[in-house]
Structure 1
């Protein structure tokens, strides 16, 4: 078993045992897990390898890419501006970004950007990876595009465009890029090791990503697992996998926006650019601390006030249909995507976080940042062994251990 370092307070041993078991069972290469309660770290663990080839150990200050867990940090930037009175979530986007109003988008409110209702899940023109890294070409494409559906009537995960949409609103209001605003207003004041757009001097601290073996031997095995998790008839589960996640689906098009490929996301060019939906680099301690600061004071500082947290946690997607899904399958999609204003809400068993009031954001590969206002908990888990499972058992097991420790 890989060496595990860190601290665990009395009463939290189950989280440590679960974390160690992930390594013992071959589920992790390098990883970190942290839990804050009432603004104080009660679990802070790290271990394994940051680089398998060089046998470089995962250190206390190691950071790693967390994919869509980035979206939670980006949402917090918007809600911080709303709390300060600089952003009205119900105002049309054009109040802050006039050029956005082209092609029938003049009435889209800011909240639709945060809740994945804007109808801009992907761009329908080609935007190369280099153009996306430059920011402005992607923004111009979004400005010119007609919504894929009537905004506010349907939803679909804006996997990449989310960061450009919310990030441009933040940039228009503050004059700072999303990455700069995050660094100066959230990461800096809270003392986080977290960057959206990684400085070159941090590269030596970066864990290298590896792809875990695909967990299914066949599509039939995947469908069977999906049916069990969602408590669905196998035939319904097979249809959902095909229509929602299959090749050519709107969901897959959303994930490929901006020319993102496996090769591109491993490049220094990608790490240096700002993709505020997908390329934050951080550790578990910083994720847990950031989320803790939304539900309690951390070293005397609180990031967001309770009223802001309550408003941003209200589920938005329960009143609209999922885009691109045949009508006969719509009744089965209600628990596939339960999104508030920028955060997944607790949706057993797919994204079970900490409790019914909890909110957070997972990332492709397995990372998770989350908070629970009732228990005043902030949670973070990061890994460099990226899995392709429908449900990542590592984060789910760790959050289950947190719930047990809380009693």
Structure 2
């Protein structure tokens, strides 16, 4: 599918890597060997060239279907990074002003304390709109016939706290508000089709937001941690590390009406089964917070122009100046009320702690629930894609962190 790199991946991994990136390949293979992964892919581009392209394990345990280089899976909140890309394309073309009030494009938004809220505030998770008072179902967000219900819920919502303050991650509502804003700016356009036409297809990325039925055969089965096991691990963690992120998350989860519950539990998911997002109704829908699918390679390729000042292989996707605002944090919280950890945002992209995905503060992207990751480092011109089907119970997957650490510790980065 892609040009093979000079070094074969160590067993049991498949794929290849460039000289200087052996530490990444060894970490990936070790995670497979130890059973830390069911199936996964990890791809890295540097300065426009693929330097790591690894995959392995199983896409489905029951059938023993292998994970292939083009195996795709639902990417959860990695989706938000793609939505941010679409809005940055609009801003680069002069169609969106981050500092303009949202009502400039969407008059009905200016209700119940949201008047004057800027686009940057809304899409920087600083609008106090982390949850909705209107109870929604999955049918409300996947069925076009229910669009009016969702619109009223968004327009009538009051901020849960003061707008402009760095309080809480808009885990689901970000995608709802961002999609509506996009459609107000581009009447009649489909967000998923726009991304496909303007970004994914020209870049050779297999990512889809609104995945056609023809790719159903390529979708890996998701394996979230069983609820009793997940709760047991969180309880053990809370007892042994009471100040850890996961311990604080557990405290929020058991507290009725907590910001974390409000952010994650609406729309209601039958049986609290997150695999509903990997089923056809959700995959077909353009859910701007969770429903994109793709392979690790596809995720990395989607970030290529964002890692290279808006340009890739001679084609300019957006003005270099359009990304400068993303390099610095536009907002930062030392303890996000939803995620219970330090985190920040810049115009729709996540800005993590420097010791996590990249040591360079200019880097940005978006992780997804369970561990998936799409990330860009404009300093080293690195684009990262990580996709897997065994979901971690922690806020940030140790597997993703280990791969990123190995990458930045590799001679290929250090000496290159």
For normalisation by structure 1, the TM-score amounts to 0.89
Instruction: Please name the residue that 2:119 is paired with.
Output: 110
Does residue 364 in structure 1 map to residue 376 in structure 2?
no
Instruction: Please name the residue that 1:194 is paired with.
Output: 207
Instruction: Please name the residue that 2:140 is paired with.
Output: 131
Shift of the alpha carbon at 1:304?
Answer: 3.6
- Does the Cα contact within 8 Å between 1:4 and 1:45 map onto a contact in 2? yes
Instruction: Please name the residue that 1:329 is paired with.
Output: none
Does residue 71 in structure 1 map to residue 80 in structure 2?
yes
Q: Distance in 1 between matches of 2:50 and 2:25?
A: 13
Instruction: Please name the residue that 1:233 is paired with.
Output: none
Q: Structure 1 residues 300 and 120, CA, compared in 2 at 3 Å: closer, same or farther?
A: same
Q: Which moved more, 1:363-372 or 1:98-107?
A: 98-107
Instruction: Please name the residue that 1:210 is paired with.
Output: 223
Shift of the alpha carbon at 1:316?
Answer: 2.8
Q: Which moved more, 1:89-98 or 1:339-348?
A: 339-348
Q: Structure 1 residues 168 and 32, CA, compared in 2 at 3 Å: closer, same or farther?
A: same
- Pairs within 5 Å for 1:46-195: 46-134=55-143, 136=147, 137-175=149-187, 176-195=189-208
Shift of the alpha carbon at 1:375?
Answer: 0.6
Q: Structure 1, unaligned stretches of length 5 or more?
A: 231-236, 326-332
Q: Structure 1 residues 219 and 379, CA, compared in 2 at 3 Å: closer, same or farther?
A: closer
Shift of the alpha carbon at 1:99?
Answer: 1.1
Q: Deviations over 1:123-158 (max 9, x none)?
A: 101122101113522122101222212211343111
- Does the Cα contact within 8 Å between 2:372 and 2:388 map onto a contact in 1? yes
- Does the Cα contact within 8 Å between 2:326 and 2:362 map onto a contact in 1? no
Q: Structure 2, unaligned stretches of length 5 or more?
A: 1-9
Q: Structure 1 residues 298 and 246, CA, compared in 2 at 3 Å: closer, same or farther?
A: farther
Shift of the alpha carbon at 1:395?
Answer: 0.7
What is the root-mean-square deviation in Å for CA atoms of aligned residues?
A: 2.4
Q: Deviations over 1:138-193 (max 9, x none)?
A: 12210122221221134311111111111111111112122122112111221210
Match of 1:221 among 227, 236, 241: 236
Q: Distance in 1 between matches of 2:160 and 2:236?
A: 33
Does residue 5 in structure 1 map to residue 10 in structure 2?
no
For normalisation by structure 2, the TM-score amounts to 0.87
Does residue 270 in structure 1 map to residue 282 in structure 2?
yes
Q: Distance in 1 between matches of 2:394 and 2:347?
A: 25
Q: Distance in 2 between matches of 1:94 and 1:312?
A: 23
Shift of the alpha carbon at 1:209?
Answer: 0.5
Q: Which moved more, 1:247-256 or 1:312-321?
A: 312-321
Q: Which moved more, 1:79-88 or 1:149-158?
A: 149-158
How many aligned residue pairs are there?
A: 391
Instruction: Please name the residue that 1:330 is paired with.
Output: none
Q: Distance in 2 between matches of 1:18 and 1:147?
A: 44
Q: Structure 1 residues 189 and 289, CA, compared in 2 at 3 Å: closer, same or farther?
A: same
Q: Deviations over 1:272-330 (max 9, x none)?
A: 111111111011111111222212243323434432222023213337985589xxxxx
Q: Distance in 1 between matches of 2:182 and 2:83?
A: 9
